[in-house]
Amino acid sequence: MSTRLPTHADVVVVGAGPAGACAARVAAEAGRSVALLDRQAATEIGRKICGNAVSLDALAAMSQYIDEPGGAEIAASVDGGDLYLPGADGALSIEKPGVILNRVVFGQRLLADALSAGVGLFDRCTCIGWADRSRATLLARFEDGEECEIAGRVVVDASGYAATLTRQGGTGKDVQLERGDVGIGYRQIVPIATPLPRANMARIHLMPSGVREGYGWLFPMGERLVNVGVGGIVSSVSHDLRDVFRRFVKGFADVPILEPLSAGSGMVPLRGPLPSNIGDSFITVGDAGCQTNPLHGGGIASAVVGGAVAGRTAAEAIAADDTSARGLWAYNVWYMRGIGAHHAGHDCFRRIFYTLGSDDALSLAIEAVRAGVTLRTLTSRDSRPSLGGLTHAAGHALRRPGLLRMLMRANRIVRAVQRLYDDYPESPDRLESWMGQLEYQRVALARLVGRQ
């Protein structure tokens, strides 16, 4: 690909993953000049440490913005999953159809779509940071050490967990993640000697040994290949994650695992939405914008959808000759009142669930899954988690008045948080007030679960 970086473009996108590729393509299709930068070689774009699972609901959402994945992009289809809980006998089967993506093939296709739309790709090119934030100019370095500056009328940060521009004041807000807001995972793609006994079902093990807040997984990727890994909140991982992984796979007596084809670790933000995804001449998307689901770390669908809408928003703001935060604010309203509200509810749910003692958490999870409540919470992109339903499902089984009272109070807070996202301000003028109200509810939830 080209190594001659232009001095400016209408839209500059940093990162060619699903969010960046979709943002770049949509902006180019609207007639804008687009420069897409990525630190990897073009042929490596699409590789990421990930479970690669996408539900059919998420596929439907993605297909509004891209051609639905098919053919070699689909490694396997699943009818649902077997959920294993610590201390429970056997597994709880969940009916939830979906697919396991081949991320490299999928990522290469999204990149090809962007290039076909006229996007200029500059691979092996790392964004170092802002050269001049006030002029939306960033500094990039090619693999051979050459440094260049490029300015955009709108800059889109899709650089993943690194969030280079977002963390350097892209939105005008301080974006620093605490250990409790960061997920870490270790994954292998592994051949197996014999087919899986239930090749149409994924496996999820909640809170495996060594990971207090997280889960392990085994996802089929064809007849003789699996995606297996463990992940959790950084602050809850008590051992080297590779040791946790080795203990985890030893538990698969019915799955003869061979030498891995690939292995690696990665990090992902696991927190509620940023208060704003927007700054003057700036939009942050995907992992860079903390747009992954904070409960389970899934982010493929929100990256595709959020990236495409960011590209459209950038093109429209340029056409209107207003790329200020106010001119780009429509993206914030769209995101916060939809995906953001959903993720905010899941963030509350995560903090409540993992605060419970092991017995309470186990009992609650079993009763909720049996009632279908946790299924909706964990898998539906559009539904919003309701602790009211969870309390109703578990009430008769738990017989623990103190826990039930806590859940009822927590549910009121969750609903208040979601109402705030429904009322996300139409312009930047009300943002500070809105953030104050949100912080009040977050403090209330922290105090409530802190008493458990």
Could you tell me if 142 and 260 lie in one domain? no
Q: Is residue 69 domain-resident? A: no
* Helix boundaries (H) for 320-450: 325-335, 341-353, 358-371, 373-379, 387-398, 401-422, 431-450
Cα–Cα distance, 381 to 293 (Å, whole number)? 9
One digit per residue, the tens of pLDDT, for the chain of length 452 reads 555 899 999 999 999 999 999 999 999 999 999 999 999 999 999 998 889 999 999 999 999 999 999 999 999 999 998 888 877 777 778 888 999 999 999 999 999 999 999 999 999 999 999 999 999 999 999 999 999 999 999 999 999 999 999 999 999 987 888 888 999 999 999 999 988 888 899 999 988 888 888 999 999 998 899 999 999 999 888 778 999 999 999 888 788 888 999 999 999 999 999 999 999 999 999 999 999 999 889 999 999 999 999 999 999 999 999 999 999 999 999 999 999 999 998 898 888 888 876 666 666 666 665 555 543 443 343 455 555 555 555 554 556 667 777 778 888 898 899 999 999 999 999 999 999 999 999 999 988 877 65
Both tokens assigned to 56: 């059919």
By CB atoms closer than 10 A (0-12, 13-18, 19+), residue 186 is buried
Pairing of strands 225-233, 182-191: antiparallel
Cα–Cα distance, 344 to 294 (Å, whole number)? 8
Q: Is residue 55 domain-resident? A: no
Could you tell me if 113 and 26 lie in one domain? yes
For residue 89, give Cα distances in angstroms to 85, 92, 95, 323, 390: 8, 9, 19, 57, 22
Could you tell me if 194 and 256 lie in one domain? yes
Could you tell me if 366 and 409 lie in one domain? yes
On whether the CB atoms of residues 350 and 295 are closer than 8 A, the answer is yes
Both tokens assigned to 341: 């509200």
Pairing of strands 34-37, 120-122: parallel
Could you tell me if 118 and 147 lie in one domain? yes
Residue 213 structural domain? 77-99+179-269
How confident is the model at residue 378, as a pLDDT? 36
Could you tell me if 293 and 257 lie in one domain? no
E strands along 221-288, which residues? 225-233, 262-269, 278-279, 282-284
Could you tell me if 82 and 115 lie in one domain? no
On whether the CB atoms of residues 141 and 22 are closer than 8 A, the answer is no
Q: Is residue 67 domain-resident? A: no
Could you tell me if 21 and 149 lie in one domain? yes
How confident is the model at residue 85, as a pLDDT? 82
